[in-house]
Structures are given as structure tokens and as C-alpha cells.
Amino acid sequence: MKLGYEMVIGLETHVELHTRSKIFCSCLNAFGAEPNTYVCPVCMGLPGALPVFNEQVLRYAAMAGMALNCHVHHRSRFDRKNYFYPDLPKAYQISQFYRPLCENGFLIVQTSGGEKRIGITRIHMEEDAGKLLHDEKNGTALDMNRCGVPLIEIVSEPDIRSAEEAVCYLRKLRAILTYTGVSDCKMNEGSLRCDVNLSIHKPGEPFGTRTEMKNLNSFQSVEKAIEAEFERQVAAVEAGETVVQETRRFDQKSGKTTSMRRKENSADYRYFPDPDLPEIYLTDEDMTALREKIPPLPDERRERYMKEYSVSAYAAELLTAERWLADYFERGAAKAESPVALANLILGEVFAQLTARDTQHTGERDESSLPISPEHLAKLSDLMNSGKVNSSTGKKILGALFQEDCDPERYAQEHELFTVSDDRVLNAAVEKVLAANPDMVVSYKAGKLTVEKALMGKAMAETKGKADPERLRRLLLDSIARL
């Protein structure tokens, strides 16, 4: 809220489906290939080429709808959306307008303000367009590998009231879709992209005119774009200007939104049923079979982790935010003596080391980002939890496992890293440090208690960092007291 204004947000999210081939031809659906290598007359839109619908797209789209609590229609149909698309040469996009596959769904998000239900108006299937590559030297080139990649567009109700809620919605959407297995939802590869529709009003008054910001491709840019556009609209209305319906671009560098073009209305697209494609029909049997394929979703797993493994609600929410991570945790927890300690190790030191290793700062992770087997990580967690290796040695072993995955117990043995708790060894280290630093002992005795930390550091170094820290501290303080 600012000056009594509230923001009203609806999100349109495009998600590329993870099928083997494209939606209307047999070209491969793959990311990152040489430009224009996965193309054919159909996806290039050459005259006379006829589309043939890939039924896997229908299965995935229906599963996405079911996982998002939608009503999935038995009958739906494709329409042509006519437009001048420089990146889609046939000048129309095959989409669904009059008869979308799914309607009336919702998802539940956890925000700092509590639980919130956000409605989903509809989910429809459509084809993706190509990619324009702008180059100062050579001008603009067109890569058509993405033409005909299957998409679902998920349209939310205007239920969102803050940038935080928008990001929570997208995170939850991504979690549900990746669990369902219909998409990898990698924002940095464009397989999840988001358009933000935003207007402002004072509570109790009708909604204002909305603007649209297109193709935001990170959670951070969604958040920043929303905040910037809200500020702009409030300032405009306060200055007596009117907000016009238009598409705006969010510039990462300046953090501002600028006008791109006046927004079209749906009538401008002259939608009509695509005569090349028959009506789509899902039988009751199809529906049942698809529903059975949907695995337990994040909320269900979160509840189970809290019950079965006694992890906190917060930790359970983080562990279930991505399916690969939840799967990983479960495999480890089955072996670990303390699943709670394993959860803390993953969310603490493992994530810290992952972030440090993420040189491109994409923040996108999958199972390949964590090259340590869950069984080995569980063993390391047990070694640390039982005190057999102390926490700083544990971190070092973790770093070594990132380099080369191996049995942490054997690694600790080979490198002599087990915690030293033999009093004779520890006392020898303490005596040596005290003898070498008489002035520090004097200042400690004179009341400068912070010296303890320095002495502990020296004694710890004497054991090559392997001492049981609690035991070492006790012996150190006892020795000083006797002096």
C-alpha cells in the first residue's frame, strides 16, 4: 500500500512442455542446439504444410491442469490467433481461445502474511514462436528451433496483491509443474516465462486500467518490475494523469518500466477455429489414467516430512520447493540416523557451498548441481551429528565430496580427520599453547576474557583443527585455572 493504493496483479505464465518432439511436427524439442537445425516445413510455417497434433502435449497439459485443481474439459479445440509475428512466419499462432483445455483452478501459497488461495482462470495449449537474435554487426537473425515448441499458458485470476505474493505463486507453480514432470521450468532457459498485468485502486473502488509487462525471466525481475510499475502508476494517478492500457518493458539496469506499444484487445487477433486441426477429445478412461500418473505434490510431501522426519515447517517448505531436492532429501533421510541433522546440513552448509560454486549466479539448480550421492551426504551428516568429525572438518570433507564423490568415512580415515577427544593429546596441545603464550594467560587472568577465543584457536590449530571443541575448551579453562 502506498498513499492508500493497492496493487492488483494477474499473471500469465508460459511454460514449455518437456515433450520429445514439437507440438505439430516430429522435430526435436530441445534447447541450445545450433540455430535452425530442428526445423521442418510445418514448424517453419511454409504454405501448404499441415500440422499433426502431438498427443503427449495434451496429456501433459491435462496433467498440469489436474495438479492445479482445474476442471479439465473432455472437449477442446485449437484456434488461430492472427498477428504479425516477425518470429512466426505463418502470421498466426495456433492457440486455444474459445474452448481452452482447463478452467477454474487454484493453488495455495504460504506468504509472510499467512496462507493464500490464488485462482487460475484457464490453462490453454499453444505453440511457441521462434527467437530473434539481434546483432549490431549483422542485423537481426531468426532462429526457428523454438517455433512449434509446445507451451501451456496459465492465466491467474487478479487475486495477487503484492510482489511477494506474485513470487510465491510462481515458486509454487514451478514446484507443482516440475513435480508433475511436465516441464523443467528453467527460467534461465525460457521454459518458464511470466507476463505481469498490474493495475492500482483504492480498496472498495473499482480496479484501474492495467498495463502488461512481458517475458520476465527471473523471480527477481518479476519482483522489481512489479514494484517499479506500482510506483509509476501511483505517481501518475496522483499527478492527475490517466494510466493507459499498454505493454511495457522492464529494464533491469534502470529498474524502470517503459512503454512498448498500446495493448491489443482480443478482438484485434481475429481468432477463429483452426480448420487444419480436429477437435480434441479426452475420454473418462483417459482422465483417470492421467490422474493416476500425478505423483504426491509439494504440500503433501511437506506435511509428511514434518510428521515422519520431525523437520520444521520452514525446513520442510524449503526442501519440497523443488522435486529433485525433495527426492534427494528422501533418499538421504532413509539412511541418516538423524533426518533433522541431514536437513540442516543441506539447507545450511550444502546450500552455502552450492551458492559459492554457482559462478554464473543463475540460482537455477537441479540434481546435477549436487554431485554427491544422498547416501554419502547422509553418512557425513551422521559423522558430524555424532561428533566423530567436528563441524569445521565436516565442511572440509563436504568440499572434498563436491570435488570427488566418495565415502566420507573412508575419506576421514585416509586423511586422519576424525575428532581428537583423547585427553592426553588435547592436554599436550593445551600445555604447549599456554607455555608459548604466557602474556595472553596473564591478560586472561586480569579479566580480558576475549583472549580465550585466541587461545582456543591456537590449541585447535595444534590439533590440526580436529579437536572435539567442547572438550578442548574445558581442558583449556581447567589448565588456566590451575596456573
Question: 182-221 burial string, b = 16+ CB within 10 Å, else e?
Answer: bbbbbbeebbbbbbbbbbbbeeeeeebebbbbbebbbbeb
Q: Of 43 and 198, which has the nearer Cβ to Zn ion?
A: 43
Work out whether 57 is an interface residue with Zn ion (CB under 5 A).
no
The answer to whether the CB of 310 falls within 8 A of the CB of 340 is yes
Q: Of 145 and 233, which has the nearer Cβ to Zn ion?
A: 145
Work out whether 40 is an interface residue with Zn ion (CB under 5 A).
yes
Q: Of 37 and 104, which has the nearer Cβ to Zn ion?
A: 37
Coil, strand or helix at 260: strand
Total binding residues toward Zn ion, as defined by CB under 5 A? 5
- Find the binder of Zn ion among 8, 9, 43, 222 (CB under 5 A): 43
β-pairing, 79-82 vs 272-273, is: antiparallel
Question: Do you know the residue count of the chain?
Answer: 483
Q: Of 51 and 208, which has the nearer Cβ to Zn ion?
A: 51
| Options 39-47, 52-60, 168-176, 349-357: segment touching Zn ion (CB under 5 A) | 39-47
Smallest gap from Cβ 44 to Zn ion, in A, equals 7
| Options 21-29, 199-207, 286-294, 404-412: segment touching Zn ion (CB under 5 A) | 21-29
Work out whether 25 is an interface residue with Zn ion (CB under 5 A).
yes
98's CB contacts (< 8 A; 6+ apart) are 77, 79, 271, 273
CA atoms within 13 A on the CB side of 206: 3
CA distance 343 to 257: 40
Smallest gap from Cβ 40 to Zn ion, in A, equals 3
Smallest gap from Cβ 78 to Zn ion, in A, equals 17
| Options 42-50, 69-77, 391-399, 410-418: segment touching Zn ion (CB under 5 A) | 42-50
Q: Of 127 and 349, which has the nearer Cβ to Zn ion?
A: 127
Q: Of 43 and 222, which has the nearer Cβ to Zn ion?
A: 43
| Options 27-35, 224-232, 287-295, 318-326: segment touching Zn ion (CB under 5 A) | 27-35
231 by Cβ neighbours in 10 Å (0-12 / 13-18 / 19+) ranks as middle
CA distance 40 to 45: 8
Other Cβ atoms closer than 10 A to 280: 21
Each residue 428-467 as x (binds Zn ion by CB under 5 A) or -, in order, gives: ----------------------------------------
Residues 395-424 that bind Zn ion (CB under 5 A): none
Smallest gap from Cβ 45 to Zn ion, in A, equals 10
- Find the binder of Zn ion among 9, 15, 27, 213 (CB under 5 A): 27
β-pairing, 92-95 vs 246-251, is: unpaired
The answer to whether the CB of 319 falls within 8 A of the CB of 347 is yes
Smallest gap from Cβ 80 to Zn ion, in A, equals 18
Smallest gap from Cβ 144 to Zn ion, in A, equals 9
C-alpha separations of 238 from 207, 209, 235 in Å: 16, 14, 5
CA distance 198 to 213: 8
Residues 166-205 that bind Zn ion (CB under 5 A): none
Q: Of 43 and 66, which has the nearer Cβ to Zn ion?
A: 43
Report residue 116 as a C-alpha cell.
Answer: 493464500
Binding site residues, Zn ion, CB under 5 A? 25, 27, 40, 42-43
